[in-house]
Structure 1
Amino acid sequence: MGKQRIVSLDVFRGLTMILMILVNNPGDWGNVYPPLLHAEWHGWTPTDLVFPFFVLAMGMALPFSSVAGAGVSKEQFLKILARSLRLIALGLFLNFFSRIEFGASSGLTLLLFRMMITGFVGFLLLGNFETRIKLYLALGLLAVMLFLILSGMPHFAKVRIPGVLQRLGLVYFFAALIYQAFSFRTQLVIAVLVLTGYWLVLAYVPVPGTGWTGFEKGANMAAWIDEMVLGNHVWASSKPWDPEGILSTFPAIISCLIGTRAGTMLRNRTDRRNMIYTGVGLAVCGLIWSQFFPVNKALWTSSFVLLTGGLGFILVTVLSYLCDDKPVGKLTSFLVMWGVNPIIIFFGAGIIPRALNMIRIGEGKALLSAFYTDGLVPLFTDPRNSSLAFAVVNVLFWSLVLLYLRKQKMIIKV
């Protein structure tokens, strides 16, 4: 099947990426408007939609390049595996960046060394190679990084293993295989079994050694598994769980499969009313289930899967009505620009702020911190507005980068 681009899907992905930059880059985490923060634990905010919407978008793209239930050839399997491993390796390298050392060097010397390593890794993982070369390079880099993590070297003793790109890689691998190997009915059965099973495990299976059951922060089966398997290699070593942990990755696979259903309906030009009904139905089921299994992004609960899947369904349907089979205006073109190059934004947005803050100016202030405190804060009376302005500056910066890539007709993929 020849791959085709659907404007509504690119716009959906573009909106998600812009929101991601806004919520991930405030000038001051202590002064942020509540909708731009994650829910403390149970519940959700617009910020909690970013990750599941990206997972949904990844699933929506699958029907435009493959066929449900058609089987998985060896070549297709290798392509899926290579892409998954490249995503995982990119994400793991992000966690390594700030821990890379070069003898006793510091400051600009260390920064240049880290950026050289980053450029090399980026070339290996984002280069347009033959599938088997992509696979071997990703496997080699993963082997090196995992060796360093397990080597006992103090610099890497607490490198976080999970992460957003790591989860995307795992989710894509399993969702793509399930989508291509099984019919929609079988996929539906798998989804029901996974979501129900996940709920039953958290709600009723006691955590060994504690007897805990349920969904409390740090006192649940998902947290226990993260602690047992990952140890100190989690988001923060002061707590035993990781928001992109092991057990919660399973329901995230179902989020991607929900995305494949939306993509299939987009591809088949399904009546948009049916898509809206599907989205509303999923969201309502999620809200009903939340009475027993709370909506929780960190745990990626089954109610969270259904609610965010339904909201994503509704949004992409509205975008399809507004954008598909219509002239592309300036706003649509801008959002498409953001939607076609998501990986370079995510990877770059993880590296560049850390790199710039290694540059010291004036009285030893980090460059970005100085730009914020000396350049933006004095312009606003409300610190939340200056914090938001810094995030908007990040959006403008990446818009310029994407504009350059568009002019060069460059789309960087894993």
Structure 2
Amino acid sequence: MKSRFLSLDILRGITLAAMILVNTSGNGTYTYGPLQHADWHGFTPTDLVFPTFLFMVGVAMRFSFKAFNYTLTPAVRTKILKRTVLLFIINYIIFYFPFLDFTWENLRFLNVLPRIALSYCAISFITLSVPARWLTTINISFLLAYWAIMALLGDTGVAYELGSNAVLKLDLFLFGPTHLYDGNGIPFDPEGFLSTLPALSTCLFGYQVSLYLEKQRDAQKPALTGLLVYGIGLIVLALIWDKSFPINKKLWTSSFVLMCAGIDFVLIGLLNWWIEVKERNFANTFFLVFGTNSILAYAISEVLTIQMSHVQIQEGSGTTSLNDWLYWHIFEPVFGKFNGSLAYAICFVLVCWSLCYVCYKRKWFLKV
């Protein structure tokens, strides 16, 4: 009997491809709305990408700990802590390589990989220490606790706004403004320390899905109907909760967690039915290239993007980055502004895929 579901690797590959696509638009000004994050409250398909990746981290835990019989031994504890530290280190290497202009004063402590690291660490210890029957209670507690903290510690009447929320206040207290992301007009980190709490819920939902899939497979029952019911139910709850705790990716609100988890339940249900039950294999290899080497794919995409932005090309009386030069001189003239931006992103995905494909064929996988 298979111990792993191919559909889960496929979904992780789809997520990685989508992550690279939305992160490398040719020109942010001319990017289609669905390929951009919501400005603040609200939801777009792009907002789903990172939560789905974190959701899949939770799914993968179930399989990675099988060899240890799901027991928190000293060896497992060391493995968890080692992986957590390595993800932090890889993050800093990606974003500050080759460290020529690196300064401690401007180091951004938290980011995508640190959020994954902290979530992985916490949920690993929880799932290996607590009986599975308590996981739903723990998950609910994360979401309700975060709602209470945000409501009580944010400014009265504007507790969920950009400059007055508890996430920002805690990050400013812990790290100071120079260590936060500054792309929102003010120093504010969408991967803030406090908002890691509901991110734990996202990761835990993934682990619970893997438990459900295993249970249904062992009982030789289909998983699609149950996942669709659970998924739609979570989406409805998210829309109801949105009235009092708005769906917001940058705050990673509890309603946002439910919305993303609900959609992911539906996606996993459909992919599991299509690939495991119907045994369809359309484009499987393409997505497996990303899905089986996800950290490498993410690292390649970020390093390429950052280093290309550092390459300056003479343009009139000044210079422009290689990214902008390619967009304005190749993609925009051929495809137009919006389609050119999309074509640039698609080509960038294919470049990253080609590099990962070489590793896939040679069986080179970055395991952390």
Same fold (TM over 0.5): yes
Cα-Cα RMSD: 2.2
Kindly provide the CA deviation profile for residues 162-188 of structure 1, in whole angstroms up to 9, marking residues without a partner as x.
100010000000011111111122222
Superposed CA offset, 1:272-331 (max 9, x none): 211221222222222211111111111111111111111101101100011115556351
Helix, strand or coil at the partner of 2:30: coil
- Name 1:266's counterpart in structure 2: 213
Distance 1:212 1:287 in 2: 21
Residue type matched to 1:97 in 2?
A: F
**Residue from 174, 184, 188 that aligns with 1:241:** 188
Residue 128 of structure 2 corresponds to 180
Does the aligned pair in 2 maintain the 1:356–1:366 contact within 8 Å? yes
Q: Secondary structure at the match of 1:30?
A: helix
- Residue 295 (structure 2) aligns with: 343
Amino acid in the other structure paired with 1:225: L
Any residues of structure 2 matched to 1:297-376 within 5 Å, and which? 297-324=249-276, 327=279, 329-363=281-315, 364-376=319-331
Task: Please report how far the alpha carbon of residue 82 of structure 1 lies from its aligned counterpart in structure 2 after TM superposition.
Answer: 0.7
The number of equivalent residue pairs is: 357
TM-score (norm 1): 0.81
* Displacement after TM superposition at 1:407 (Å): 1.3
Measured at CA, do residues 99 and 291 of structure 1 come closer, stay the same or move farther in structure 2, by a change above 3 Å? same
Aligned AA for 1:371? L
Q: Name the CA distance, whole Å, in 1 between partners of 2:333 and 2:191.
A: 37
1:7 is aligned to 2:6: yes
Residue 18 of structure 1: how far off its partner (Å): 0.9
CA distance in 1, matches of 2:98, 2:39: 27
Q: 1:228/1:98 Cα in 2 relative to 1: closer, same or farther (>3 Å)? A: farther
Letter in 2 for 1:374: H
Question: Which stretch has the larger CA shift, 90-99 or 244-253?
Answer: 90-99
Alignment of 1:173-212 (within 5 A): 173-205=121-153
CA distance in 2, matches of 1:66, 1:400: 31
What is the deviation of 1:196? 0.6
The whole-number CA distance in structure 2 between the counterparts of 1:4 and 1:88 is: 30
1:91 aligns with 91
List gaps (5 residues or longer) in structure 1. Answer: 102-147, 149-154
How far residue 30 of structure 1 moved from its aligned partner, in angstroms, is 0.5
The answer on 1:37 being equivalent to 2:36 is: yes
Indicate the SS of the match to 1:26.
coil
Q: Does 1:400 align with 2:354?
A: yes
Aligned 8 A contact 1:72 1:180 in 2: yes
**Which residue of 111, 114, 131 maps to 1:166?**
114
8 A Cα contact 1:35 1:45, kept in partner: yes
- Aligned partner of 1:75 in structure 2 is 75
* CA displacement at 1:5 relative to structure 2: 3.5
Please list the CA deviations of residues 135-185 of structure 1 after superposition, one character each: whole Å capped at 9, or x if unmatched. xxxxxxxxxxxxx8xxxxxx3321211100010000000011111111122
Separation in structure 2 between the aligned mates of residue 6 and residue 277 of structure 1, nearest angstrom:
21
CA contact (8 A) 1:218 1:240 kept: no
Q: Does the 8 Å contact 2:95/2:302 carry over to 1?
A: no
**Structure 2 counterparts to residues 242-257 of structure 1, below 5 A:** 242-257=189-204
1:219 aligns with 2:164: yes
* Aligned-partner Cα distance in 1 for 2:256–2:98: 32
SS where residue 157 of structure 1 aligns? helix
* Amino acid corresponding to residue 301 of structure 1 in structure 2: T
Structure 2 gap ranges (5+)? none
Give the CA deviation at 1:84: 1.1
How does 1:277-292 map onto structure 2 within 5 Å? 277-292=229-244
1:43-54 superposed matches below 5 A: 43-54=42-53
Please tell me whether the aligned partners of residues 27 and 324 of structure 2 are also in contact (alpha carbons under 8 angstroms): no
CA distance in 2, matches of 1:374, 1:173: 45
The one-letter amino acid of 2:330's match is: G
The structural deviation recorded for 1:334 is 1.1
Corresponding letter in the other structure for 2:19: M
Question: Using the alignment, how far apart are the partners of 1:98 and 1:300 within structure 2?
Answer: 32
CA contact (8 A) 1:376 1:386 kept: yes
Distance 1:98 1:386 in 2: 30
CA–CA distance in structure 1, aligned partners of residues 351 and 26 of structure 2: 15
Q: Distance in 1 between matches of 2:249 and 2:167?
A: 13
